Structure 1
Amino acid sequence: MWGRILLLGLIGAGLILLSLKAFAAGDARRGGEIAADQCGRCHAIGRTGTSPLAAAPPLRVIARRWPPEQLQEAFAEGVVTGHTAMPEFRFEPGEIDDLIAYLRRLRR
Structure 2
Amino acid sequence: MPRKAPLLPAAFALLVALPSPGEAAGDAEKGRQIAVDHCSRCHVVPDYDPYGGIDSTPSFRLLARRDDYLERFQTFFERPPHPVVVRIPGVEPPTDDPAFVATFQIQPEQVDDIVAYAKKLHAEQ
Q: CA deviation at 1:38?
A: 1.4
Bigger relative contact order, structure 1 or 2 (CA pairs below 8 A, ≥6 apart): 2
Structure 2 residue runs without a partner (length 5+) = 1-22, 88-105
For residues 67 and 86 of structure 2, the distance between their equivalents in structure 1, rounded to whole angstroms, comes to: 18
Q: C-alpha deviations, 1:49-98, integer Å up to 9, x for none?
A: 244321111111011114443131343xx3314xxxx9532443211100
SS of equivalent to 1:40 = helix
Conserved 8 A contact 1:80-1:89: no
Question: What is the root-mean-square deviation in Å for CA atoms of aligned residues?
Answer: 2.7
Structure 1 residue runs without a partner (length 5+) = 1-22
Partner residue of 2:110 out of 69, 76, 95: 95
Q: CA deviation at 1:28?
A: 0.3
For residues 61 and 94 of structure 1, the distance between their equivalents in structure 2, rounded to whole angstroms, comes to: 24
Conserved 8 A contact 1:51-1:57: no
Larger radius of gyration: 1
Instruction: Name the structure where helix makes up a greater proportion of residues.
Output: 1
1:25-44 alignment, distance < 5 Å: 25-44=25-44
For residues 52 and 102 of structure 1, the distance between their equivalents in structure 2, rounded to whole angstroms, comes to: 18
Identity of aligned residues (%): 34
Please report the TM-score for the alignment, with normalisation by the length of structure 1. Answer: 0.59
Conserved 8 A contact 2:24-2:116: no
Conserved 8 A contact 1:43-1:52: yes
Q: CA deviation at 1:106?
A: 1.0
For residues 44 and 65 of structure 1, the distance between their equivalents in structure 2, rounded to whole angstroms, comes to: 16
Count of aligned pairs between the two proteins: 80
For residues 117 and 55 of structure 2, the distance between their equivalents in structure 1, rounded to whole angstroms, comes to: 22
Residues 25 and 68 of structure 1: CA distance in aligned 2, closer, same or farther (over 3 Å): farther
1:6-21 alignment, distance < 5 Å: none
Q: CA deviation at 1:24?
A: 5.2
